[in-house]
Chain A
Amino acid sequence: MSALLEVRNLQVRVEEREILHGLSLTVNKGEVHAIMGPNGSGKSTLSHVIAGKPGYEVTGGEILFKGEDLLEMDPDERAAKGVFLAFQYPVEIPGVATMTFLRTALNAQRKARGESEYSTPDFLKKVREVAASLNIPQEMLRRGVNVGFSGGEKKRNEVLQMALFEPSLCILDEMDSGLDIDALRIAADGVNALRSSERAMVVITHYQRLLNYIVPDFVHVMSKGRVVKSGGKELALELEESGYAQFEDQAA
């Protein structure tokens, strides 16, 4: 049985500067992996490359998703296959109502998979259920995507999409940035509700704090474009004590 996500010796450049120097990572169904590391270690680059953001040049290595070459796919194909990136800074899209966006996106994914589009009543029912569980008021769904949302609301909107699209791989990029403890708890509860044996998560974070709420199975420490140490959830606590300095020396 092949891994859900297999990153092999990935090398990535941005404008002539190599950011990832041969990164490898294997994620199986049902697992939650945390990727920790200091600023500039390449954590967000990894999430962007997996999601297919333009502007990154892959100069070596490969990424297999469900055994298929992910790097050959457009971002929308990846989404339809089950890759979901929860953005560190979700963008505001004035003029596109959240409801319209959600329906357009969900139906685009279903269409790409050869599934029938949701009928309006079915769709509305599903969104209402999920929104209620995340404490997202209906009024928010009528506004432009993320327009006027607080930091916490934006992150909850990401979790809402995750719940709606039912991806098999969720990448959470610095989900805790800009959130107070209450907002973090609501978002994390939403994520935990989505943990399942059929779904994997990669939680990217600078701080150990988030991992109190989303408890990982594995922790990887990144430094200077590589994974320098992997371990269980106790590794995160160890990092909280000693900081990243030791690993920066290792990677150098």
Chain B
Amino acid sequence: MARQLNQMQDWPRETRITHGRVTVLAALMVLVMTGLLYRYFSLQVIQNEEFRAQSDRNRIAVRTVAPTRGVIVDRLGNLLAVNQPSFTLTITPERADDLDNVLTTLSDLLGLTETDIELFKEARKRRRPLSPVPLKYRLTDEELAVIAVNRHVLSGVSVLSELTRHYPEGDLLGHALGYVGRIGIDDVDESEKEAYRGISHIGKVGLEAYYEDVLKGGLGVSRIETNARGVELDVIDRIEPVPGAQLTLHLDIELQRVAVAAMGDMRGAVVALDPRTGGVLSAVSSPRYDPNKFVNGISFSDYAELRDSRDAPLLNRVIQGQYPPASTIKPMLGIAGLNRDLITTDTAIPDPGYYQLPGDPRRYRDWILRVRGTGHAEEMNLRDSIAQSCDVYFYELANRLGIDALAESLDDFGIGSVTGVDLPSEKRGILPSAEWKRRVIGSSWYGGETLIVGIGQGYMLATPMQLAVATMALATRGTALKPRFVAAVDGRSVEPEPLLNVSAETAYWDEVFAGMVDTVSSVRGTAFGMRSGLTYSVAGKTGTAQVVGIAQDATYDEEALSEYQRNHGWFIAFAPVENPEIVLAVLTENSGGGSSAYPVARAMLDYWMSRDE
């Protein structure tokens, strides 16, 4: 009761205290609420425009619309490079509630590998904020269904439909077409960045790279209303993209098939040109690879296998393989000798099986010595020397020409210069001369070296494309056109461009051609084995390029050499002789010699000369 009384007595005081507290609290409330109200007023009324703009930026996405890449077709319209719809699984990390969880779920559903996840994380570092990161390409129908069913647990996951490059012929002409790949950091200059916004792939090698600007097309732009998860709700406006141009090639896919079949497992290269247009009818580099593997990122192990293979499948031997041209240059030297009056068509040179420079004990052997133990004949003229590939005759001719004239005359046939074919990264080979040796090797020229160059060995290197162009210069009697893969861009023909011009009297050409015809048709010709059943006229020349030097007195023992030290075989040809429609250069690596190369040429010529067109 005392306590109650005590409280009763305190009642006014306690009321005073609590009333005071209420007053202070009320003041605090007025202050704070006014402050907060001002905050909202400031955001909503004063800064309204700024936030309205921000809201529009959130809402409206400017999307670049990638153009469809131009397709590539062969001379008859067969599709070589096309765009296929393909579905790509992507994740927009910002929109995933729990990224690790989503990745785990997807791994369980689709059986993703560690590599897929790693590649995803790599790609994530490179992309722009709020943009989808690809996780898996080329989804199958089953995978699409699994994703659709589990959509509700896959936040941030979307399936993009895009056109992906596809090469229907696979590895048949991988080197020539090249491939497109995901745009890498170094693929596009700063100045071009804008033109590639929204484009995911770029031509990396081959025609795809060379004609990138033509194939690419122009970007379209569309403004789209999206929600926060990037789902497109409405297209506000749109500028259509300009599709890339269609490339029509000179190439004939059936001839290519014949060439590939004829090459079989042999390493090497084949080039077929149309001497009337310079068009590349076929280009094979063997071993081949499938460009489709590269389109959406080749796996590291697959790439390592291609890159590290001793057979160098990624090398396009047609324009990047450099080999001693060997005896294939003999017809060209014949023209040079005749043109300079150093020989006539009747000039006869004794062939004991070897050649010696005056005052030099060294014997420069003829290849026939190893086979028959003697020379080709007592006396050899130009025609027979070409047909039988007589080394001694050309040692003598080279000696008469001297290295400078020899180099000059081979330069006329394009040896040592790029052909300018429409592919990137063409090699130029080596056309040695006294000046070249001083500059590159740093020592002076020896007379004996001229002889070696005279049979296409020594320092001299040429690409199969160069030899095909040189052969075109022979076939056309001196006027070679620049080799070209592309015949027309979007239906507009590409005009042939002159490349070489070699002038010589008709009789000289006739004589050299006669030697080349004999190569195939005379009993002693080096390609006599290809003669049977020919229904058209062929001029050809074999070559056997040494890979390792053979010492003065040693013999070339094929069995004793490792596969990669064996000689390369060459065969150049054109047909029909009087009005050539096709020019060929065939190289077979480590095959022993030219006899392995001309069957390839024969198969191709048979197909080409018998086709209905």
A and B held together in a complex: no
Give chain A's interface residues, CB within 8 Å of chain B.
none
